[in-house]
């Protein structure tokens, strides 16, 4: 795929995911980071009580996507307190979200009443259910 068609496919994926997240989250603020190519940042930012969630969006066709490389790219663009997420999908498939277990536990903890989950309980749940 040429550079321009690859960029167009990426931009279409960003718009598609931003629309889907806006639909699913309602009032949640979903912001496209149009300067991310110049500034080296992520593609989308979600405002959250757990901290801003930086989302790197990828449309893929290859068998073994570079998820850890993408997660590292997104993580590098995060400031203190921000969460890194990679949202990716191949053609004719649904979106998948990948994040570190620490960031996942933080989101779960923030979504629950205080004291509902200990760090260890959230970590164990993620290990048991997300492998």
Residues 36-76 pLDDT 10s: 544 556 888 888 777 788 999 998 887 777 889 999 988 99
Name the range with the highest mean pLDDT among 4-8, 14-18, 127-131.
14-18
Is residue 34's pLDDT more than 70? no
Strand ordering across the sheet containing 83-90 = 30-32, 44-46, 53-60, 83-90, 96-99
Mean pLDDT of the chain: 80
Q: Report the distance separating Cα 74 and Cα 48, nearest Å.
A: 17
pLDDT tens for each residue of 70-116: 999 889 988 888 899 999 998 888 999 999 999 888 888 877 555 55
| pLDDT for 27 | 60
Q: 3-99: what fold?
A: Trna Endonuclease; Chain: A, domain 1 (3.40.1350)
Domain ranges (residues) in the chain? 3-99, 100-131
Q: Name the 3-class secondary structure at 74.
A: helix
Average pLDDT over residues 13-42: 74
Q: Report the distance separating Cα 104 and Cα 85, nearest Å.
A: 9
Residue from 126, 111, 120, 2 nearest 50 by CA = 111
Q: Which residue has the higher pLDDT, 48 or 28?
A: 48
Q: What percent of the chain has pLDDT over 70?
A: 82
Q: Which residues pair with 59 in a beta bridge?
A: 89
| pLDDT for 38 | 46
């Amino acid at each position: 795929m040429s550079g321009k068609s690859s960029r167009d496919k990426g931009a279409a994926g960003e718009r598609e995911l931003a629309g889907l997240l806006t639909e699913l989250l309602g009032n949640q603020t979903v912001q496209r980071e149009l300067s991310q190519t110049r500034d080296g940042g992520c593609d989308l930012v979600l405002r959250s009580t757990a901290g801003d969630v930086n989302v790197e969006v990828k449309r893929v066709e290859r068998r073994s996507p570079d998820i850890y490389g993408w997660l590292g790219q997104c993580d590098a663009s995060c400031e203190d307190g921000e969460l890194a997420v990679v949202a990716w999908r191949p053609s004719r498939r649904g979106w998948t979200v990948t994040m570190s277990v620490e960031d996942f536990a933080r989101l779960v903890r923030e979504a629950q009443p205080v004291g509902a989950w200990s760090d260890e309980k959230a970590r164990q749940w993620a290990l048991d259910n997300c492998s």
